[in-house]
Structure 1
């Protein structure tokens, strides 16, 4: 009897453990399905506009009013891409933009790294106040500083030297690359406050023994920074380089404020609708005729195609650097 009871208890315990394992597997499966459902939904919301623009880019204009077409065109064509390239003056504009953005990115990264290193390692009067003001630039909307910034570079003068030498109020730097270049060199460019904070947090985490060893070897502040500290700051460097490149490439506020007449992508995108209408009219069989009204839906197709062409370089860049970007964000001062 005792053996039978023990066997029955063992059987019930085994069945109970099996039921518990089944419930755990079912719960894990449900959680996995729920998680993938949420991720898929978020990805669809993000990717759907790009998929829609790709479909529009290869769609013939006769498919605009076809209610049976959704994402997959019935008549494929590359005419929209060719027209959008003509509207944007694509390759010359892209080349100018990439050169300008790359130079600005490098200047911004170096100047913000120097500022962040100074705030992290050196002690001087008003250090905390100055760092607080640098962080405050992240919170203040750029629109509130638009007028003084424009006037500053409209009559640019460094400590009154230009007025003293020439008698003029200053040099007009508007519609040149100098306003953005000067801002980048002085760690006062686009999102510079955030970049300074990232570098400061990283340099504060490095051991001071590194600098003490360099000091014993006779290295000064700049030599220590460029030869020892900066090579160790690869994670924040990659983070700031990529953020600076993408934000400067997409920036329309400062570009329209300082360089509204320059051949850059943000200025071309701002006027893409008007330019698309002009190009479409010039492509009429009888030549340019401003009295002929172009179908606004066709203009919208050209605009969507142009925007897709503008973001393609960023998508290509992300495909190549996304692994390094994720690793650098995890190891930089943004996290933790």
Structure 2
């Protein structure tokens, strides 16, 4: 009897009353989470260790993760090669300005498509979805001609003007996110205000927009990250002057080694690999820092906006 009682207690300890309560189930979950975390963190760890290596460590195949000598020279070269303060300011201005504009414009459009009785609303929603499905490469030449005639090239307005009209980077997706959120709200929230004679603008700014804080945060973070990391559009519209970090990273090899004329030599050059990894780390560090502080509200916002649905 004592042996059977002890075996049952051991089984309850290992397996638990529920599937996720036992030590064995928790161990399996922790192992799986550790594997997934390693898969996501491995590129970042490789980037950090590579940028801290000297040239001799980069050329030595036996040195993979831990450098023999830690050096900050690669970080200094990347900082100077990118002209980091200027490029960071340009990128931050583009990302912050366009993201805030997209939050306001896309929320207004999503509210109109979800709550207002406007003609051809279904057709407009279908057209918004169609703009999301069209690749940017298809319309890049007409956009370039339009911006060139308006004198907007090499300036912030090549991104700000489309964002103002709800057609910024992934603008259609953000409109659909807000439409889904406002559509899920009960009509009783607006009925009392309508009886008091509140206008549509007052309903939106005083009632619906404060309720959409979680959706606004999700859209802002998505828009900020996409504007921060975009490369194709700046390479077409920002050839000189007002260039973000992504363009500076592409031209970093020419700044570091002007003598390397062959692109193949540039890619396979191990001497500058540490510097390029340091430059990539400098680029991803600000949005990574922002996400670390806002991840709690970001995850909550995704749950409330109905993106999963």
- TM-score normalized with structure 2 length: 0.88
Secondary structure of the equivalent of 1:148? helix
Which structure is larger by alpha-carbon Rg, 1 or 2?
1
2:252 is aligned, of 252, 266, 272, to 272
The secondary structure found in structure 1 opposite 2:272 is helix
User: CA-atom RMSD, angstroms?
Assistant: 2.6
What's the secondary structure of 1:153's corresponding residue? helix
Counterpart of 1:71 in 2: which secondary structure? coil
Q: Quick check: 1:334 aligned with 2:302?
A: no
Q: Which moved more, 1:113-122 or 1:128-137?
A: 128-137
Match of 1:302 among 265, 275, 278: 275
Cα distance, 1:317 vs structure 2: 0.8
Segments of 5+ residues of structure 1 without an aligned counterpart are 1-9, 156-170, 282-288
Matched, 1:55 2:49: yes
Q: CA deviation at 1:218?
A: 2.6
What is the CA–CA distance in structure 2 between the aligned matches of 1:11 and 1:86, rounded to whole Å?
73
Deviations 1:233-262 (A, max 9, x none): 111011011111111101112222222322
Higher relative contact order (CA 8 A, sep 6+): 2
SS of the aligned residue for 2:59 comes to: coil
Say which SS state the counterpart of residue 175 (structure 1) adopts.
coil
The answer to whether structure 1 residue 176 and structure 2 residue 155 are counterparts is: yes
Partner of 1:160: none
Deviation at 1:31, TM superposition (A): 3.5
Paired residues for 1:79-94 under 5 Å: 79-94=73-88
Q: CA deviation at 1:39?
A: 1.9
Report the equivalent of 1:222. 201
1:37 equivalent in structure 2? 31
Q: Residues 156-199 of structure 1: CA distance to partner in whole angstroms, max 9, x if unpaired?
A: xxxxxxxxxxxxxxx23222221211111111011111100111
User: Contact (CA 8 Å) 2:15, 2:24: kept in 1 or not?
Assistant: no
Query: TM-score by structure 1 length?
Result: 0.82
Q: Which residue of 2 is the match for residue 65 of structure 1?
A: 59
Kindly state the Cα deviation for residue 128 of structure 1 after the two structures are TM-superposed.
Answer: 0.5
For this pair of structures, how many residues does the alignment match? 301
**Unpaired segments ≥5 residues, structure 2:** none
User: How far is 1:298 from its partner?
Assistant: 1.3
Correspondences of 1:51-200 after superposition (within 5 Å): 51-155=45-149, 171-200=150-179
Once residues 23 and 51 of structure 1 are traced to their aligned partners in structure 2, the CA distance between those partners, rounded to angstroms, is 34
Q: Using the alignment, how far apart are the partners of 2:14 and 2:306 within structure 1?
A: 42
Q: CA deviation at 1:29?
A: 4.0
Going from structure 1 to structure 2, the CA distance change for 1:20 and 1:300 (only over 3 Å counts) comes to closer
**CA displacement at 1:134 relative to structure 2:** 0.9
Aligned to 2:286: 313
Name the CA distance, whole Å, in 1 between partners of 2:177 and 2:3: 59
- Deviation (angstroms), 1:109: 0.7
Shift of 1:41: 1.6
Aligned to 2:211: 232
Question: What is the CA distance between 1:25 and its match in structure 2?
Answer: 4.7
Does 2:183 correspond to 1:204?
yes
